[in-house]
Amino acid sequence: MSKITVRSVDRVFRKGEREVVALKDVTFDIKEGESFGILGPSGAGKTTLLRIMAGLDVPTKGEVYFGDKIAAKDGKLLLEPKDRDIGFVFQTWALYPNMSGYDNIAFPLKNMNLDSQEIHKRVSDIANTLGITQVLDHYPREMSGGQMQRVALARALVKMPSTLFLDEPFTNLDARIRDGARALVKEITKKFNITTVIVSHDPADIFGVAERVGVLDRGYMVQIGSPTQVYDSPVSVTVANLIGEINELQVAVASEEKKLTIGKLSLDLPPGLSGSKVIIGIRPEDVIASREPLQISGLELLDKARFSILSYQGGHFRLTLELKSDNQQIFTYVDQPIKGDEYYVYVRKEKIKIFSS
């Protein structure tokens, strides 16, 4: 296992006379044996940060440590990737097309000059663990996406690295097998006590694998915490959207009273927020739509609403409604269609998030 420390890392790329800042003053630690996620939109700097930690790139400024060893500093590579004891699974899996599954997995062991008996034992053991013994004699073109992903994972794990880097590892998998792949990665890395770093734009990957997550936004690490902490208490509406779906409602601030009013609901303006408008964020699971008035503890009436759109997504119906007070839209999920034109919209007030506009 290996602790990773990133200190004040910048990464600047030059395009002609123009500078592009990919990372700015990024600082965080990853504990030994921890599963850490890096979440962010495209272009946020996720893969650049992962490559710097793996030694495939260097920081323009700042330092990276593996345990007590300094691995990179201010544009200099001080610890080669081969000396960091890492495994790397790329988004495209990067299997050698002219090699069988067995040879792909065995490739790093041959580079370590292990004898054939030890190589065979390790390949067989990891193939059994990952359930891919049946494809060891197949070429990548003869494998399914899930099988190729497991072969790539086996190749990264077969040398028993102390750290595993995963760059969008589930993006190319069919939706129906992603959950199983996430569970497998979590199980295997815990079984072998491997420090794991996963990069993804998909919050489902982060919740499925990571114990903590760092959120990157335009090169800055804007929030670090458990996935649940970031989901429940995002620092901005941008982070709120990255970690899960959320309704965004624009609300005017009554400047004298520091009060927010939307429909039937009144809220206090949180300390530190200013401006004439704010954004109220409400997760869809904290919104209840009903054809009849409800009296349920913890629910407060937001407004009456008109039917707008009904769509089907992943086993549930997404119901979008238009609030009568100001025509803003709000959505929630229901198990079956609710017929009617008018609804009562209730919310869990304590779950409401308020952001700067």
Tokens of 331: 């959505």
**DSSP state, residue 351:** G
CB atoms within 10 A of CB 357: 14
**Lowest-confidence region among 156-165, 171-180, 202-211, 286-295:** 171-180
- Whether 49 shows a pLDDT value over 90: the answer reads yes
Predicted confidence at residue 90, as pLDDT, reads: 87
pLDDT at 274: 77
> Kindly report the CA angle at 173 between 84 and 128, in degrees rounded to 5?
60
Torsion of CA 159, 165, 171, 177, to 10 degrees: 50
Rounded to the nearest integer, the mean pLDDT of the chain is 92
Residue (of 273, 285, 298, 295) closest to 330 by Cα position: 285
**Residue 48: predicted pLDDT:** 96
* Res 91 pLDDT > 60: yes
**Confidence check: pLDDT of 1 > 60:** no
Strand, helix or coil for residue 314: coil
Confidence band of 259 (pLDDT split at 50, 70, 90): confident
Whole-number pLDDT of residue 36: 98
Task: Check: pTM over 0.85? Answer yes or no.
Answer: yes
Better-scored residue on pLDDT, 350 or 314: 350
| pLDDT bracket for residue 286 (50, 70, 90) | very high
Segment 24-48 shows an average pLDDT of 96
pLDDT at residue 242 is higher than 90 = yes
pLDDT in tens, 116-175: 999 999 999 999 988 899 999 999 999 998 899 899 999 999 988 999 999 998 887 777
Looking only at the bridges linking them, the beta strands covering 163-167 and 86-89 are: parallel
Does the pLDDT of residue 21 top 80, yes or no?
Answer: yes
Residue 342 buriedness (CB in 10 A; 0-12 / 13-18 / 19+): exposed
Q: With bands split at pLDDT 50, 70 and 90, how would you rate the model's confidence at 341?
A: confident
Question: Is pLDDT above 80 for 217?
Answer: yes
The first and second tokens of residue 354, run together, are 């308020």
CB 302 within 8 A of CB 265: yes
